[in-house]
Amino acid sequence: MKKAALKKDLHNKKVSQPKKNRLKPKVRISGSEAIVRCLIEEGVDILYGYPGGAIMPVYDELYKYQGKIHHVLTRHEQGATHAAQGYARISGRVGVALATSGPGATNLITGIADAQIDSTPLVCITGQVASHLLGSDAFQETDIVGISTPVTKWNHQVTRAADIPEVLAKAFYIAKSGRPGPVLIDITKDAQFEEFDFSYEKCRGIRSYTPIPEVDEQALAKAAELINKAKKPLIVWGQGVILGKAEEEFKKVIEKTGIPAAWTILGASAIPTSHPLNVGMVGMHGNYGPNVLTNDCDVLIAIGMRFDDRVTGNLASYAKQAKVIHFEIDPAEVDKNVKTDVAVIGDAKESLAKLLPLLAENAHTEWHQRFKDLYKIEYEKVIDADLNPTKSGLTMGEVLKEINICSKGDAAIVSDVGQHQMVACRYAQFTTTKSNITSGGLGTMGFALPAAIGAKMAEPDREVVAIIGDGGYQMTIQELGTIFQQKVPLKIVVLNNEFLGMVRQWQQLFFDKRYGSTEMTNPDFIKIAEGYSIEAVRVKERAELKNAVEKMMTSKNAFFLEVCVEREDNVFPMIPTGASVSEIRLD
Amino acid sequence: MEGTNQYTVSVYTENNIGLLNRISAIFQRRHINIQSINSSISEIQGVSRFTIVVNVTETQIKKIVGQIAKQVEVIKAFYHTEDEIIYQESCIFKINSELLFEERQIQNIVKDSHARIVTVNKEFFVVEKSGRKEEIDQLFEDFKAFGIMQFSRSGRIAVTKDKLKISKLLKAFNQYE
C-alpha cells in the first residue's frame, strides 16, 4: 500500500528542477551554506524573509549565492509568510520564509497559522540561539518549536549541521505531499556555523506518514451508485480540487453527470466562473441558490472541502435530507463536522478519474432550473444593485465589474478579509485555476498585500490584482516598501469605506448600530503610495471609475487605486450566525 | 445527548522530541482533561507507545484519534473501551514504620491486597501495588485511615485483548529499512 502511495506521490510531484541550478557536492561546507544549497536542490528560486542575529550566517550565504536564489526582504516577518503563501497558492510550489529567532520567529506565526488552516505548502526556517544557550532565556531566544506546534503540519529543531540536509528534505516533502501545510525548521546558530560533509538526497517517503491514502474501490462504487440514482444532486467543491490538480477530472465529472456544482471560497477558480454548471458560492455570503438548495438536494457530493462552519451554517439543519458523499484526502476530515454516508478517502485527481467511468450521463434540467430561478431572485434583489448601482455612492461590486471587464477574467485576485473579500469572491470572473488567493480559514486581515507580492513574483506573466479594505491594508501597509524595492508590478485596489466594514455590518445588524471602534480616520493613501514612488489614483465619483481601472490595468508598473465607496453598504446575501443555510437573507 | 465513557488510546509513534507536546495539544485545544498518560517503548523496535486515558463521548474520541493519527510522526492510533483491554496501574505508598509494627491491620492490608513491601527502614516503609484502578483506590482508602506520608500513582498501561491491526504497518516499515 505504502509503496503504491509513494509512487503516486512521486508521480504527482513534477518538481521543476532547472539543470543549471544543480550543484556538484562540495566536500565540507557550513550548516548555513548547506541550508542554501538544500533550498536550491528543492528548486526554490525565491524566498522571503528578514535578517537578524541568529540567522545571519544564512544571510551571509544568500549573499554569496545571489543569482542562484533570490531573497526578498519584506518589511515584517508576517509579510514574509504571507508572501510565501501567495507564491505557493498561485504556483502550487512550496513557499519559503526565513526569519531570525525570538521576535522574528514569533512574527511568522500568523502566516503559519493561516497556511495550516488553508492547507498551503510552506517551509519556514528560523534561526535559533546556539544550542548551549537553549533554555537559558538568552537574547532573542524563544521556544518557537513549542509555539508553532499547534499550527504546523510538522516542525523540528536542528542542533547539528549534519542533520540539516535530511531535515530540510523531509520538510519539503511533508509541506507539499498529501494535504499540504506549513513546516517550521528551527536551526541553532552553532549548527549554522558547524562544517560537515554535505550531500543532498530528496525525501522519498517517511515510514510513519501516508500522504495519499489508497482509494477504496468499494466506496467509489457506492458513491457512483448514489450519484447515478440521485434526482437532485448537488456538488460542493473546495480547494482540494486545486491542490490535487484535479481540475480536468472534476470538469469531466460534472459535464458527464450534469450536476450543479457550487464552490467554497477556497475552491473558487478551479473551473471558470462562467461554466454553465457552476452555480456559485456556498456559505455565509455565498449565492442564494446553492445555499437554499443545499437543504433540498437528495445527494450532496462534497469534494476536497471540509464543511467549515462558514459554509454549513447551523449543522443541526444542514442538508439533513440528503445522503452525503465526501471525497477527501485527509481521513480526519471525514465525519468531523457532517456525518457522511459514503466517504471516498484519497487523492481528488485519482478518485475522480476512477469515478468518471462509473457515472451515468445526465442533464438534471429541471433541477438546474431551480438554481436559475433562485439566481434571478438574487440578481434582482442584490446583484443588480451591486454591479449596476443607480444610487450616488460607489459600490464595491461595480469596481469588481470594471476589473473583470479589463482583465477578461484572466487576473489572479488576491483579497484580504472583510466585506471587500466577499464581494471580490462573489463577483470576480475567473478563467484560470489558482486565481482566487485569499485568507479563507483564518480570516487574516493584512494577508492580501504581501500575498499579492508573492503571487506576482511567482507568476510574473500573470496579472495580479490585490483587493483590500482600508482596515486590512493598514495592517501590512509597510510591504509597499517591498513592492518599491523589488519593483513588483502588481495592482493594489483599496476599497475605502472608512470603516472596518464587516464588523460594522454586524454591529448594524446584531448590536443595534453601536459602531464601537470600527470607524477609521485614514491617512492620505495616495501620498503614502507616492512616498514609495507607486503611481496612485483616487476615485470618488462613478464617472471616474472606468478610466481609472483601465489606467491601472494597462500600467506596466505597480499601481495603487483607491476607490472611496459607500460607507455603510452591507454584503448580502447573508446567513446569520447560528441560522440554517436555507435561512439565508437577501436584505 | 451522547454520554461520556472512559477510553484508552494507544498511539504508536516515532521517538521524537516534541511529539508529546503535539499530541497533548490535540486534547488541550478541545478542552479535554487527560486522565492519565504514559509513554514507553513498544513491541516494535524503535517505536514508542503512548497510552492515554480520557473521559469523552465516542464521537469525540473518534475525532481525536483521527487528529492524532494525522500527525506526521504518529504511526498508528487506536481507541479502546474498558472491555477491550487488559490494563494495569501501579502505585507506591510511603508510610511511617511505627505503623507497620504497631498496627496489625497494616500487615493484613498489605497481604490481602497482594501489595508488596519494597523497603523498610526505621522511619518509613514503602509499599508497591499494581492492579486495576479500583484496587488501587481501595488500597489508598485502607491506608488513608492510618496516615500516608507520600503517595504516587502511575498512568495506565494497557494491552488489547484483540490483535491490533499493525501488520500493514510493519510491512511498510520493512520496506523502509
Computed on alpha carbons and rounded to an integer, the radius of gyration of chain B in Å comes to: 20
Here the cell at position A117 is 488552516
The confidence band for B175, taking pLDDT boundaries of 50, 70 and 90, is: low
In three-state form (DSSP H/G/I as H, E/B as E, the rest C), the secondary structure along A6-26 is HHHHHHHHCCCCCHHHCCCCC
Say whether both B63 and B114 belong to one domain. Answer: no
Share of chain A above pLDDT 70, in %: 96
A154 and A271 both lie in a single domain: no
Output the nine-digit C-alpha cell for A165: 540536509
* CATH code for the domain of A246: 3.40.50.1220
Domain boundary among B24, B46, B80: B80
Are A3 and B175 a contacting pair at CB < 8 A? yes
Query: pLDDT band at A365, cuts 50/70/90?
Result: very high
Confidence of residue B1 (pLDDT cuts 50, 70, 90): confident
- Please give the residue of chain B at the shortest CA–CA distance from A331: B66
| Helix locations, A434-475, DSSP H | 448-458, 470-473
For residue A9, pLDDT beyond 90: no
Predicted confidence band at A423 (pLDDT cuts at 50, 70, 90)? very high
**A336/B63 Cβ within 8 A:** yes
Looking from the CA of A315 toward its CB, the CA atoms found within 13 Å total 10
* Model confidence at A13: pLDDT above 50: no
A49 within domain boundaries:
yes
**pLDDT at residue A171 greater than cutoff 80:** yes
Q: Which residues of A touch B70 (CB under 8 A)?
A: 330-332
**Nearest partner of A529 among A463, A468, A461, A458, judged by Cα:** A468
Positive/negative CA dihedral, A451, A452, A457, A459? positive
d(C-alpha B122, C-alpha B9), whole Å: 42
pLDDT in tens, A222-232: 999 999 999 99
Do A157 and B74 make contact, defined as CB atoms within 8 angstroms? no
Whether omega before A573 lies within 30 degrees of 0, making that bond cis, reads yes
Strand A195-197 to A95-99 pairing: unpaired
**DSSP state letters, A504-531:** HHHHHHHSTT--TT-B-----HHHHHHH
pLDDT beyond 50 at A428? yes
Residues of B in Cβ contact (< 8 Å) with A2: 171-172, 175
Decide if A35 is inside a domain.
Answer: yes
Residue B176 domain-assigned? no
What is the distance in angstroms between the Cα of A164 and the nearest Cα belonging to chain B? 16
Integer Cα distance of A162 and B134 in angstroms: 51
β pairing state of A28-30 and B47-56: unpaired
CA distance A312 to A573: 15
Confidence (pLDDT) at A295: 98
Domain shared by A263 and A174, yes or no? no
- pLDDT tens-digit profile of B78-130? 999 999 999 999 999 999 999 988 888 999 999 999 999 999 999 999 999 99
DSSP A139-155: TT---HHHHHGGG-SEE
Gap from A448 CA to chain B (nearest CA, Å): 28
Q: How far apart are CA A248 and CA B19, in angstroms?
A: 39
Q: Which residues of A touch B (CB under 8 A)?
A: 1-3, 145-146, 149-150, 153-157, 174, 205-209, 330-332, 334-336
Q: Among A10-24, A268-282, B118-132, B147-161, whose mean pLDDT is lowest? A: A10-24
* Pair A262, A180 in one domain: no
We report the CATH number of the domain holding residue B137 as 3.30.70.1150
Dig out the grid coordinates for A50 from the structure: 528578514
The pLDDT, as a whole number, for residue A18 is 47
What is the rounded distance in angstroms from the CA atom of residue A287 to the CA atom of residue A273?
Answer: 13
A vs B: CB pairs below 8 A? 54
Average pLDDT, chain A: 95
In Å, what is the CA distance from A353 to each residue of A253, A466, B162?
Answer: 8, 34, 38
Count of domains observed in chain A: 3
Q: Any bridge partners for residue A438, and if so which?
A: A415
**Distance, CA of B36 to CA of A185 (rounded, Å):** 31
Residues B57 and B98 in one domain: no
Q: What is the pLDDT of residue B100?
A: 87
- Say whether both B74 and B20 belong to one domain: yes
- pLDDT higher than 50, residue A587: yes
Does a structural domain hold residue A570?
Answer: no
Interface test with B, best of A170, A208, A336 (most B CBs within 10 A): A208
8 Å CB contact of A3 and B176: no
pLDDT, position B176: 57
- What count of other Cβ atoms lies within 10 Å of the Cβ of residue B152? 9
Beta bridge partners of A574: A585
Which residues of chain A make contact with B173, given a CB cutoff of 8 A? 207
Residue A513 zone, left/alpha/beta (φ > 0; ψ -120 to 50; rest) = left
Catalytic residues of A: 77, 139-140, 189, 502
Residue ranges making up the domain that contains B57: 5-80
CA–CA separation, A505 vs A235, rounded Å?
30
Q: Do B172 and A2 touch (CB under 8 A)?
A: yes
Co-location of A338 and A416 in the same domain: no
pLDDT tens for each residue of A16-51: 444 455 555 557 999 999 999 999 999 999 999 999
Q: Are A520 and A469 in contact (CB under 8 A)?
A: no
Give pLDDT, residue A42.
98
- Mapped to the 3 state alphabet, what secondary structure does A29-74 carry? EEHHHHHHHHHHHCCCCEEEECCCHHHHHHHHHHHHCCCCCEEEEC
How many structural domains compose chain B? 2
Spell out which residues of chain A touch residue B75, defining contact as CB-CB under 8 Å. Answer: 207-208
- Choose the closest CB to A207 out of B17, B21, B176: B176
Distance in Å, alpha carbon of B15 to nearest chain A alpha carbon: 11
Residues of B in CB contact (< 8 Å) with A are 13-14, 16-18, 21-22, 25, 29, 62-63, 66-67, 69-70, 72-75, 168, 171-173, 175-176
Residue A468 has pLDDT above 90, yes or no: yes
DSSP code per residue over A289-339: HHHHHHTT-SEEEEES----HHHHBSGGGSSTTSEEEEEES-GGGTTTSS-
CA nearest B19 in A: which residue? Answer: A149
Q: Summarize the confidence of residues A282-296 as an average pLDDT.
A: 98
Neighbours of A544 (CB within 10 A): 14
pLDDT digit string (tens) for A486-513?
999 999 999 999 999 999 999 999 999 9
B100 with B136, same domain: the answer is: yes
A207 domain-assigned: no
Q: Which of B49, B80, B111 is the last residue of a domain?
A: B80
Task: Look at residue A481 in the predicted model and tell me its pLDDT.
Answer: 98
One domain, residues B47 and B100: no
pLDDT at residue B171, as a whole number = 64
**Domain containing residue B62: CATH number:** 3.30.70.260
Residue A520: give the domain boundaries: 392-564
**ipTM confidence score:** 0.93
User: Per-residue DSSP letters for A170-198?
Assistant: HHHHHHHSSS--EEEEEEEHHHHH-EEE-
Model pTM? 0.95
Residue A123, all three cell numbers: 517551509
